Amino acid sequence: MKLLRAPALAGAFVACLVLAGPSSHAQDNRPTLRIAVQANPPTAEPLDAESNVGYRTNYSIHDTLLQFDYAGDFQLKPHLAESWNWKSPTELEVKLRQGVKFHDGNEMTSEDVVFSFGPERLTGQKAPGFPMVRRYWVSLDKVEAVDRYTVRFTSKYQDPIFEQRLAAWTAQIISKAAYLKAPDYNAWRLKPIGAGPYKVDRVVANDAIVLTAHDDYWGGKPNAKTVLFKVVPEVSARVAGLLAGDYDISSDIPPDQLKVLESNKDIKIVGGPVNNHRVIWFDKTHPVLKDPRIRQAMIVSIDRQAIVDAMWDGRTKIPNGLQYDFYGKMYLQDFPKYRFDPEEAKKLLKEAGYKGEEITFRSFNNYYTAELATTQAMVAMWQSVGLNVRIVMVEPGGALFAPGDGRAAGNWSNSALLPDPLFSLWSQHGPASVQKAQGAWENEEFYKQGEVLERATDPQTRREAFRRMLQINEWDDPGVSSLHQNAVFYGIRKNVDWAPYIFLYMDLGPARLKFK
């Protein structure tokens, strides 16, 4: 009898649903976007997740006051702020967009902005974000609320890129009320409350980050109901998962797999060069490399085009110096390109009196894409001009620049975190750099020019300082040499309408992500 009753009840229930007609809440038919990634950041709080994988997920959760026009000319545009203007050379007044809702439903006000940059979260000695201050906020003096929707930023000096800093990492605005309500910072960092297009559902260590649509997003309702960043460490599994239809996007597809995916009619490849250079570094205190001609010989004996063709299927760029074309007015288009000239290398070695002394070259085991193969190719190129280079493997947990053990040169990369050389050349090779701290490279003239780059407000003066810095760092007294721009490729199913920027930030907002 009981067995008979169950279907009858179910039928009545279904009939009631049908008779009741359409629900007052329309069914949410938006799809889940499934992204297979090689790794995720440990948390969803930008203050402790600055990394390539952190950039990828966090911009979906948090918004900044201003934003670069990543798809256009990298000019600043309003974002959480509606407008901004300089009240004096060191005072910037920012008008906030009204009606912006955080993930917890609270409206964003100037209090939240002040708190986001305040001593409790960012600038205080004991604040979780304090380690980031030296990198991003050296010029920041104070942030004050003028009224409910107006904030005043005061800088310690006239900072030529202060506005750009408001669009950069660590400038994300969080909800003050939610931060103070969280049981502790460890709980907060797994589920922070921001004002981005998606809110955090859960962060599962080494497994997945799941975001859900923030339907009150100021920029419109997101087109995906849920976004899953699933950790699939093996490349072959990411490729197979995409082919099988288990994922909509697979990230970090190595160049040798691109043709496999391109041959599938349902999949396309998007992406290309990103805001990161693969570089090699030099130790100018090394007994052999202290003569800049040896370093110059190493630079001109690398056939960069051969590396790009063989390792990257020709799909990335060789820059003219450690710079990017998205620097806008600061881009030195006429800066000389890298030469491949084995004869010049031999001449330089002869002039320097090089007698085949061993030069060690430190490399990780494929921390960078095709790192080991690239290193082996470079060693072969160096050997062909008479340089005696030996590869020394180091682990990411080891010290890349640690003195001793014949330290001479090695692999590295350089990111441009803003469209300005201050955030690549200066931050990575200036007096606060690890190269200087470990005693591998320093140059007084470079540092003097860097101070001009940091403080000067005249664009032409800054350009000339930048030019001189590049000339010093890349040729006169080489500290690094760029090999090529790194590239990131995504395999994507054709029903997903999305394309990446040159920055590693995956913009999944309503304007950028659509489904066909």
Partner 1 sequence: MTRTVLTAVARLVITVLLAVTFVFVILRVSGDPARALLPVDAPEDQIAAVRAEWGLDKPLPEQYVTYVMKLASGDFGLSLNDRQPALRVVVEKIPSTLLLMGTGLVIAFTVGSALGLLAASYRGRAPDRLIMSLAIFVHSIPSFLFGILLILLFAVALRLLPSGGGPSLLHLLMPAAVIGLSQAGVVARFVRSSTLEVLAQPYITVASLKPLPRWYFIRAHVLPGSALPLLTLFGFSLGGIIAGAAIVESVFAWPGVGRFLVFSVARRDVAVVQTIVVLVATMMAFANLATDLLYAIFDPRLRTS
Q: Using CB under 8 A, list all residues that contact partner 1.
A: 36, 42-43, 50-51, 131, 134, 186, 189-190, 203-208, 230-234, 236-237, 240-241, 243-246, 364, 367, 395-401, 412, 428, 432-434, 437-438
Nearer to partner 1, 407 or 462 (CB): 407
Residues 6 or more apart whose CB falls under 8 angstroms from that of 10 comprise none
Nearer to partner 1, 397 or 404 (CB): 397
* Least CB distance to partner 1 at residue 232 (A): 4
* Least CB distance to partner 1 at residue 428 (A): 7
Residues 38 and 253: their CA atoms lie apart, in Å, by 9
Residues 6 or more apart whose CB falls under 8 angstroms from that of 216 comprise 101, 105
* Least CB distance to partner 1 at residue 487 (A): 20
Nearer to partner 1, 241 or 509 (CB): 241
Beta strands in 175-266 (DSSP E): 198-204, 208-213, 226-231, 249-250
* Least CB distance to partner 1 at residue 238 (A): 9
CA nearest neighbour of 373 among 301, 310, 303: 310
Residues 234 and 179: their CA atoms lie apart, in Å, by 36
The 10 Å Cβ neighbour count of residue 189 is: 19
Match 């099988």 to its residue by tokens.
244
Nearer to partner 1, 114 or 231 (CB): 231
Residues 45 and 467: their CA atoms lie apart, in Å, by 36
Nearer to partner 1, 49 or 348 (CB): 49
* Least CB distance to partner 1 at residue 284 (A): 17
Token digits of residue 20: 């009741």
Is 91 exposed, middle or buried, given 0-12, 13-18 or 19+ CB atoms closer than 10 A?
A: middle
* Least CB distance to partner 1 at residue 135 (A): 9
Axis crossing angle, helix 304-312 with helix 371-384, rounded to the nearest 10: 150
CA distances (Å), 394 to each of 83, 399, 401, 439, in order?
A: 48, 8, 10, 18
* Least CB distance to partner 1 at residue 233 (A): 5
HEC letters along 381-394: HHHHCCCEEEEEEC
Nearer to partner 1, 219 or 241 (CB): 241
187: phi then psi, degrees, rounded to nearest 5: -75, -40
Longest dimension (CA), the chain: 101
Nearer to partner 1, 12 or 437 (CB): 437
* Least CB distance to partner 1 at residue 440 (A): 11
Nearer to partner 1, 245 or 459 (CB): 245
